[in-house]
A and B are shown apart, each in its own frame.
Chain A
């Protein structure tokens, strides 16, 4: 029965985290997910941007360009993530300068060449992949800041029945009143601010009349990653995040709904683990 379905895996936000990327690729293989797409942002946060680019190119994993990839590819001054908080900007710039110093010219050229969006059909459904939103590479589509009406408009304008994005780092899925789907695949390079170290990937699975969207958690040993981050001189705040699963920086623009969900989870006696 599973064989009759068309399946594709999606993941985003690699953030120079080679341990996470390796674990995800192994996990996809174990799940028999031979089709997969990366939704961009290969640099930032972690210690190994060049190695992550190389790995994706070698597999190869088809990749949509994130704002980070656009910035590094074009040697822009910053990541254009759109942070407004001063501390966020400081940490983001630190990551960006680190990434910029690591990435080879060949990788830059590849990052520049990535498409801003990708389209395919899954069991007849029109799927659109983008990084931020179909209209802007660095637009944050948080679950709590999008009305159904707005998401329906984005689906209308982009002629998509399944719209998949990333950029925020938090994964979510909504079935719209029209029956169309919007899914944010989150990120693999940084835990989802849920107290669970590891990565989240998304599986789309479609057969006759049914589309299922599932998120899978992929655990990996974060100790070698933490050691590499430390050796690379990356901030202790970043290392704390990979160890604890809680964000410590760059979430000044996280909406209150997502903040409270995390705070409540954090306070809960049986924190999700």
Chain B
């Protein structure tokens, strides 16, 4: 394993209103840190089939001269203020969305800006088994979860993804976040049939990082744009309407970028896609791409009366990986991001100490579909 995770607050839950609604939960006190957590068991080992798929998919990226070494560095600690004092704490409200890092940190691409440093050689967070996912979904349903997001890494590298999606979709709406490069004809047919027959929505979020091929491929590797566009076309041909998630460079106007994206997709013959813009986060491999740590930012100067507990998604969602429960899908490698072994343990306030927290606050962004 390339690095150590930092954990805190592993103390057992004392029953502070998890899933019990807004009033109780919002009053739950922040629990003090109480020593080191036990190392979680890494029993969700990659199956031989999955390993092969990853290796094959990853070969492309490596042969194209991707700087895979940088992504071996693991989590970054830059952007974290020295002290959390005075920083607002996001109260826990209720569980609307659960993010499940089903593919772990494994990905067939090694994007130069990946906020969670995923890639063909990244096994910091392991793939989760069908049983692990089902157990997490059951835990979330008990808290009244509204919807489930499946992410990674690249979820379509998971050998059991289809059955995991089917299991989950039977009980909750599901969104799969993908780079869109692994859609085979058979898989698109399966997606289209399932989307039509399921009671809940099965949404697909496909990532783009620019509205032009060269700029996108600079992030994702040569040929990535063409493969993703081909994937989007295949989905649209079968009547699906994926959500394109486009990263927005800092300083770029949202309306301008949205118009540019719509035009670019039209040129590619795509008319039925929806668009979601995401800010860039100074996290993971993006820090390496930037070349220098961003100037420290903090929410400490935010006046207490200006803090809106409904603004950030971390009041109503959590992320799980093979290594436990985290505050959000972005901070799975950051100090303090891990909140416990169970969703119940993680149903507590979170001090907004990270640079990513400042980005979320400033942009009002949510990882959710709407």
Contact = CB atoms under 8 A, between A and B. Distances in A.
A50 to B, nearest CB: 31
Contact of B201 (A156, A256, A264): A256
B255 A86 contact: yes
Contacts of B234: none
A137 to B, nearest CB: 13
B274 A147 contact: no
Given A150-B145, A256-B202, A260-B196, A86 B259 contact: yes
Contacts of B369: 253
Contact of A84 (B96, B145, B276): B276
A115 interface: no
A140 B201 CA distance: 14
Nearest to B93: A135
B275 interface: yes
B195 A257 contact: yes
Nearest to A153: B144
Contacts, number: 87
**Range of interface residues on A (Cβ < 8 Å):** 20 to 34
Chain B contact residues (Cβ within 8 angstroms of A): what range? 35 or more
B198 interface: yes
B70 to A, nearest CB: 34
Interface string A241-273: 000000000001101111110011000000000
Contact of A255 (B140, B144, B203): B203
A157 to B, nearest CB: 5
Contacts of B196: 260, 264
B199 to A, nearest CB: 7
A39 to B, nearest CB: 21
Contact of B258 (A86, A142, A260): A86
Main secondary structure of the interface of B (DSSP, over half): loop
Interface in B88-105: 94, 96
Contacts of A157: 21-22
A150 B94 CA distance: 10
A142 B196 CA distance: 16
A117 B57 CA distance: 53
A147 B202 contact: no
Nearest to B257: A86
Contact of B19 (A135, A153, A252): A153
Interface string A62-99: 00000000000000000000101110000000000000
B258 A82 contact: no
A263 B239 contact: yes
Contact of B240 (A142, A146, A148, A256): A256
A256 B197 CA distance: 12
A69 B240 CA distance: 34
Interface SS of chain A: helix, strand, loop or mixed? helix
A26 interface: no
Nearest to A267: B239
B2 to A, nearest CB: 37
A264 B239 CA distance: 9
B94 to A, nearest CB: 7
A149 B19 CA distance: 11
Contacts of A255: 173, 201, 203
Given A144-B173, A263-B239, A149 B141 contact: yes
Nearest to B276: A84
Nearest to A158: B21
Contacts of B68: none
A149 B142 CA distance: 7
B172 interface: yes
Given A263-B239, A264-B196, A145 B19 contact: no
B275 A260 contact: no
Given A147-B141, A149-B171, A256 B203 contact: yes
A85 B258 CA distance: 8
A86 B172 CA distance: 29
Given A86-B255, A142-B201, A259-B241, A150 B96 contact: yes
A100 interface: no
A259 B21 CA distance: 32
Contacts of B145: 147, 149-150
Interface string B281-320: 0000000000000000000000000000000000000000
B154 interface: no
Given A142-B201, A256-B195, A256-B240, A149 B276 contact: no
A147 B22 contact: no
A138 to B, nearest CB: 11
Contacts of B22: 135, 157
Interface in B323-363: none
Contact of B275 (A85, A145, A152, A264): A85
B144 A144 contact: no
B147 interface: yes
B144 A152 contact: yes
A194 B268 CA distance: 29
Contact of A145 (B94, B143, B147, B259): B147
A73 to B, nearest CB: 21
B275 A147 contact: no
Given A150-B96, A257-B202, 7 more contacts: A145-B146, A147-B171, A147-B173, A149-B143, A253-B370, A255-B173, A255-B201
Interface of B: 19, 21-22, 94, 96, 140-147, 171-173, 195-196, 198-204, 239-241, 255, 258-259, 262, 274-276, 369-370
The 9 closest A-B pairs by CB, nearest first: A153-B144, A150-B146, A144-B201, A147-B172, A255-B201, A257-B201, A149-B141, A86-B258, A145-B173
11 contacts: A85-B274, A147-B141, A147-B146, A147-B173, A149-B140, A149-B141, A149-B143, A150-B145, A256-B195, A256-B203, A259-B241
